[in-house]
Structure 1
C-alpha cells in the first residue's frame, strides 16, 4: 500500500495477526500513514480495514518473507551460541552476527533492515542499528551516519523517528553532509572508520550488544563500480561477518569470490527482492528528506516536540565545510591538502536555511597553519551533539 504525502490513509487490523516490517499490528487499533510505502504481512491470514485513498493497494501472492525469516533464524543461532559462550574464558567467547545488507536502489534494503531488527528485538536481543547510508536519514537528519542500540520494536507509524523511545542510549552520529558517499570518498572512509571505532568499543563494553550483533544499512552506491571500494572498506572497518545481497546476482557472485580474501570470516547470502518494492522518484525522495529534517526538530504527529530558537553571534562560533579543493587550484597545480580538510565558511546569505551539525571540537584561529591544524581535521569525524537551522 502506498500513501501520498498530505493524504493520510488509515489501516486497522480487525481479525487475525499481521505485521509491518516485523512490528506486529495491534487488533482494532487504527494506524495512520502518509508519505509511506507500507507492506503488511500475515503468516496466518488476516482481515484489514483501509480508510482513505491510497495511491496503490494490492495483495501479493508471492513474497520473500519465508527466506527473510530463515535468515533471521540463522542469525539467531549465532546469537544463541554467542550468549552461551560468554561464560567461557575470553579466548573462546564469540560475538553476535555483524550483518551488512547491500543491494541496488529501491531493492528493499531498509525494509529488510527493519524486519531483522524487529525480529531480533522480539527474541529479547539488543542489536545495534548501524546506518552508513547518508542519502535518506533514518535515526536523524539526512546526510548522517549513525549507530544506535535498540531495545524495543520500531513504532509502526513513526519507525526510526521514534528512536528515542526504542533506544537504550542516544545514537552516535557523524555528519557526512552529502547524499552520495562516492562524491567524497576519503571523507566517507574516515567517517565509517570513526563509526567502526565507536561500534567496537560498544561491543567490547556491552555484553547484550556483543551477543546481539548489529545490522548495517548501506547506500545503493555500493553496487556501482565507483562505490565498490567504499563497500570493501566498510566490510573491513566494521568486520562484517554476514553479507546479505538483495536483487543483484552480479554483486553476489563478486562478493562470494572475494569473501575468502578477507582477513576475517565472511558469509555471503543471496536474497530475493520483494515484489512489493517500488521505485521512488526524485520528488518523493526530496519529500522524505524534508520530512526527516522536520521530524528531527518538531517530532511526529504522535510525539510532538518544540524546536529551541536562540540568536547566536557569528563571532562566537566557527562554521566549516569540506573544501572543494580543486576549485581553489591553479591549472596544473597539485593539492597537498587532506581530502577531509575543513574550509572556513564566512557568515552571509549562503548560510541561510542551512542545516548545521554541532560539535564541541575547537576550531583553530583563522590563518593558523601550525599545531592546531590536527584539531581542524578532527571536525570531519567528530561526534555530532545536535543540529541547527540557520
Structure 2
C-alpha cells in the first residue's frame, strides 16, 4: 500500500551517473520510496526545466528523465525501481517543434503590438472583445493513446516557452490527471513560471501579480474518464474554451503566446474521435500533434488534410515513456488531492477544518446513467440525463468525498450550475445526520465560511491520514 501523506524514506546508497551530450537518464521510483537527485557538473533539464548546479531534487512516485544537451554528471541518492541511460531520444524533434511555435509567437506579438498602436480595442455586438487576425499565438493540441508522453511534452513546451519570455495558456482536458488543481476537472492556467521539476503543474496560475489572466479556470466534471459522461464532458470543454478565448481576447500581451492543450488517452473511432474533433473546433486549434499512434495520425490527416486552418503533425513517442498501472495512477490522483489541501514538502499549506450546516448548503451530483431503451417499458422513451443534477442528502456516502464549491451565486439559475467555474474544493471528513442539526465537517484550504452554497459531488474519494 502506497502512502501519499508521509515522506517516503531514502535508501542509504549513492550512485553517480555520467551522461554524454544528448543522452538521457531515465528513472522510476514508486510511492513507497524516494530518491534525491543532484547535478554535480554540466547542464541538464527535466521536461525543459533546467536543473541548478548542486541543488537537490527529491522524487517519489515519479517516472521521469533527465536530459543533457552538452553532457553532465548526476548523483542519485536512494533506490530507483528503474534507472538507465538512453542515447536515442526524440528531443531533436521536440526542440524543432518548439522553435516553430516560438516563431509564430514572435509574429503574433508583433502583429498584436501593431494593432494596439493603430486601432482602438474592438468589441462585438454583445460587448465582448474581438481579436484581430494574426494576433493569437499557436493553439496546439496534443493527442495520442494513454501513456504516450503527452503530458511530458506539454511540460517541455511550456518550460521552453517560459524560458524565452512567453506565457502560454496550459489547458488540461484529461480529467484523470487533474494537472492544475484537482482530478475530475477540466482546467486552464497560464504558465507564468518554469514548472518545478519535482511538483510539475502545482504552481500554475499562482502569480497574483499577473491579474485576471493568471487566475486558474476550472470546471467540475467529477469522473476520471471522458467516456464516463461524454455529453457533460463535451459541454464543459466547450465552456472552458469559450472562457479561455474571452480571457485571452482581453489581454493582447499574453494572447500571442497561444495555448498548449493536453488531452486524455481515449482515441477510439467512436466517442474519442467525436470529442477530439469537438475540442479542435471549440478551442480554435490550429496544430494537432499526434504522439505514438499511426492510425490516429492517418485518421486526423484524413479529417483535416484539406483544412486551411488545422495542421496535423506526427511525433515519435519517447522510449522513456512507460505504462502506468491503475494502482500508480490512483495514487498519483491521491497525491494531487492531498497537495491541494496540504501543499508539497517544499511549500506546505495549513488547511482549516470548518463546520457547515446542511440547511445552508445545496449539494448535488450528476444524474446516474440511465438504463438502455431495451430495458424500459414499451412505449417509454429513454430520457437523456447526462447533464442533469440531483440533490444529495447528508449521509455516509459523503464521507471522504471531494466536493467542488461552485462559483454560482445564490441569485443565479440552478440550471447553470454545471456550467459555472469552480471556486474551490473541500473534503468531507465527517457527517452528522442528527435530524435537528445536520452538519458536515469540511477540510478547506482557507478559513471561514464557504464563499458559495452550491456544491457538486465528485466520484473521487480521499482518506486523510
Common topology (TM > 0.5): yes
Q: Secondary structure at the match of 2:186?
A: strand
Secondary structure of 1:39 counterpart: strand
List aligned pairs for 1:70-85, cutoff 5 A.
70-85=96-111
Q: Paired residue for 1:7, among 10, 33, 43?
A: 33
State the shift of 1:156 in Å: 1.4
TM-score of the two chains, using structure 1 as the length reference:
0.93
Alignment of 1:355 with 2:407, yes or no, is: no
- Shift of the 222–206 alpha-carbon distance from structure 1 to 2, 3 Å rule, reads farther
The aligned counterpart of 2:234 is: 189
Match of 2:289 among 240, 244, 248: 244
Given candidates 54, 59, 65, the residue that maps to 2:91 is 65
1:235 matched to 2:276? The reply is no
Between the aligned partners of 1:44 and 1:211, the Cα distance in structure 2 is 31
Tell me, yes or no, if structure 1 residue 386 matches structure 2 residue 421: no
Q: Is the contact between residue 102 and residue 243 of structure 1 (CA under 8 Å) also seen in structure 2?
A: yes
Taking structure 1 as reference, are residues 92 and 318 closer, same or farther at Cα in structure 2, changes over 3 Å only? closer
The residue number in structure 2 matching 1:367 is none
Q: Give the drift of 1:360.
A: 3.4
For residues 263-278 of structure 1, the aligned pairs below 5 Å read 265-278=309-322
The aligned residue for residue 313 of structure 1 is 357
Return the offset for 1:166: 5.8
Alignment of 1:129 with 2:143, yes or no, is no
User: Could you list the per-position Cα deviations for residues 221-268 of structure 1 after superposition, in whole angstroms to 9, with x for gaps in the alignment?
Assistant: 135533111111000000110011000111111111211465x60111
Say if 1:28 and 1:271 are closer, same or farther in 2 by CA, change over 3 A.
same
Q: Contact 1:102–1:223 (CA<8 Å) still a contact in 2?
A: no
Could you tell me whether the CA contact under 8 Å between 1:113 and 1:217 is conserved in 2?
yes
Q: SS where residue 152 of structure 1 aligns?
A: coil
Contact 1:134 1:143 in 2 (8 A): yes
Q: Deviations over 1:342-361 (max 9, x none)?
A: 11111111111110000132
Question: Would you tell me which structure has more helix in proportion to its own residues?
Answer: 1
Residue in 2 aligned with 1:159? 200
State whether structure 2 residue 83 is matched by structure 1 residue 45. no
The whole-number CA distance in structure 2 between the counterparts of 1:349 and 1:356 is 14
- The DSSP-based 3-state class of the residue aligned with 2:344 is coil
CA deviation vs aligned residue, 1:279-324 (integer Å, no higher than 9, x gap): 1011101110110100000000000001121111111101111101
Structure 2 residues not aligned, in runs of 5+: 1-26, 120-131, 429-465
Cα offset for 1:170? 2.3
Contact (CA 8 Å) 1:103, 1:223: kept in 2 or not?
no
- How far apart are 1:39 and its partner, in Å? 0.6
Matched-pair contact (CA < 8 Å) for 1:104–1:223: no
Query: Could you say which structure has the higher strand fraction?
Result: 2
Corresponding residue pairs, total: 380
Higher Cα radius of gyration: 2
**Once the 2 structures are TM-superposed, how far is the Cα of residue 207 of structure 1 from its aligned partner?**
1.4
Q: Does the CA contact (< 8 Å) of 2:367 and 2:385 recur in 1?
A: no
More deviation, 238-247/168-177: 168-177
Hey, what does 2:462 align to over in structure 1? none
What CA distance in whole angstroms lies between the structure 2 residues aligned with 1:124 and 1:223?
38
Task: Return the match for 1:331 from 371, 377, 381.
Answer: 377
Distance 2:206 2:35 in 1: 24
